[in-house]
Structures are given as structure tokens and as C-alpha cells.
Amino acid sequence: MASNEPRIVAELGRPETPQETADRRAAAAAKRRSNQTVFNLVIATVASLGVVLLLVLVVVRPDPGPAEPIDVAGIAADAEPGAGVSLVVPVLPEGWTANAARFGIVSEVPTWYVGYVTPDTQFIAVNQGIDANATWLAETLDDVSSTGTADVDGTRWMLYENRGGRDSGNHAYAMSTVIGGSTIVLHGTASDAEFQAMALAVMAELGEQ
């Protein structure tokens, strides 16, 4: 026959009192609720991350489209009153695009700068220093020394070949000349033929002024 006597609890060495039994059961229930809350929180967090990942993977992002073209002529016209001279805006064939145009002061010299991407996706910068000094020229050329000269349609240009130089970047090759009161420096990564085309376009522009 089963005994009706209360069971002895090992930790107490005696039977539980009714209050102790109630307290033990309440503590166990609270622990189960706490564990269930943590489990539910983990499940909710994982589900939320899954939704975010799904949105990142499947939502079609809009195509930003091509960048707006740089209005070199318009920027030059706005800057010319402060420059006091006409700023060069070379006329180039289709395939050349400007990616920057600005007027500012470099080494105390008023400077007009335009960056171009060539048809071969290389780069040429046009720098026009107004009454430029030797410091301006050296800074604009990144302190690369002249390696020779070339005659371009009757105008002598200094050449700066640095394509084999370490970390030459956008100063891999350069050309400079003085036309009127402006010192012109072309520098970039383009081929000799593209530099020649740019030099001719710059000279044509300045020759018309």
C-alpha cells in the first residue's frame, strides 16, 4: 500500500511544509516563464534578421543613372570676373568628358583646373595658372623634373615623363608651356596622342582670345 505520509526532502531532511511546497512550485513556474521569454526573444531576433536579409537580397535598388555632365564653360564664365582673364575651355571631340572644374588659389596663384576623362578612359588635368610662379609650377607638376621638350604646332612645351615612377598616379606624364600671362600644365595618365590632342585644343582656345 502507498504511504500517505509526506515525502522527506533530502535538502531539508524532513517533509516539506505546505508553504515550502507552494514556494518551490512558484519558483519553478517563474523559472519556466523566464526561460520561455528568453527563448521567444531569441526566436524574434532571428526572425527579424531573416526579414532584413531577405529585403537586402531581393529588393531591387534603383539605378542612380549617369552623373550629371560638368558645365565647364558655365563654371569658367562665372569664375572669369575674379580671375581677370579668359579661362581656357578646350573644345574636344566626342568621347572626352569633364569630371571636375573649379577656380581657386594654389600657392598664391589664381588657378583654373579642369579634369577630363579621355576616350580611352584615361585622365588629363588642365591647369591654368595666372601669372604663375616657380612654386606653383613645381606643386602642380608634383615636383617632377623636365625630361625634354616638344614643338606642338609652333609652341614649345616642356615634357615630364614619369610613367615608370613609383606612385606616379595622375602625374605619370605632364606637359607645360606659357601662353600670354598664363602657365598651362597638363598632367595625367593618358597616351602621348591624347596629350597632343589636348595641347592642340588648349592652344586653339587661347589663340582665339
Say if 197 falls within a structural domain. Answer: yes
Please give the pLDDT value at position 30. 74
Say if 95 falls within a structural domain. Answer: yes
Does 79 lie in the same domain as 44? no
Please give the pLDDT value at position 29. 72
Report pLDDT digits (tens) over 71-99.
999 999 999 999 999 999 999 999 999 99
Residue 184: which of 166, 168, 203, 170 has the closest Cα?
203
Neighbours of 23 (CB within 10 A): 12
Please give the pLDDT value at position 24. 73
Of all residues in the chain, what percent carry a pLDDT higher than 70? 80
Positions in the chain short of pLDDT 70: 1-16, 20, 35, 38-39, 42, 50-67, 208-209
Please name the amino acid found at residue 67: A
| CATH code of the domain containing 144 | 3.30.200.100
Distances (CA, A) of 91 to 5, 132, 202, 203, 206: 108, 24, 8, 10, 11
Please give the pLDDT value at position 202. 97
Q: How far is the C-alpha of 25 from the C-alpha of 9, rounded, in Å? A: 14
Say if 3 falls within a structural domain. Answer: no
Say if 66 falls within a structural domain. Answer: no
Say if 166 falls within a structural domain. Answer: yes
Does 195 lie in the same domain as 93? yes
Please give the pLDDT value at position 164. 82
Say if 171 falls within a structural domain. Answer: yes
Please give the pLDDT value at position 132. 97
The count of structural domains within the chain is 2
Does 125 lie in the same domain as 189? yes
Provide the H-helix boundaries in the chain.
Answer: 18-58, 72-83, 134-140, 192-207
Please give the pLDDT value at position 22. 72
Residues 39-73: b if buried by 16+ CB within 10 A, e if exposed: eeeeeeeeeeeeeeeeeeeeeeeeeeeeeeebebe
The contacts of residue 120 (CB under 8 Å, 6+ apart) are 190, 191, 194
Say if 144 falls within a structural domain. Answer: yes
Say if 63 falls within a structural domain. Answer: no
The contacts of residue 205 (CB under 8 Å, 6+ apart) are 88, 89, 90, 91
Question: Got the DSSP string for 32-59?
Answer: HHHHHHHHHHHHHHHHHHHHHHHHHHHS
The contacts of residue 91 (CB under 8 Å, 6+ apart) are 201, 204, 205
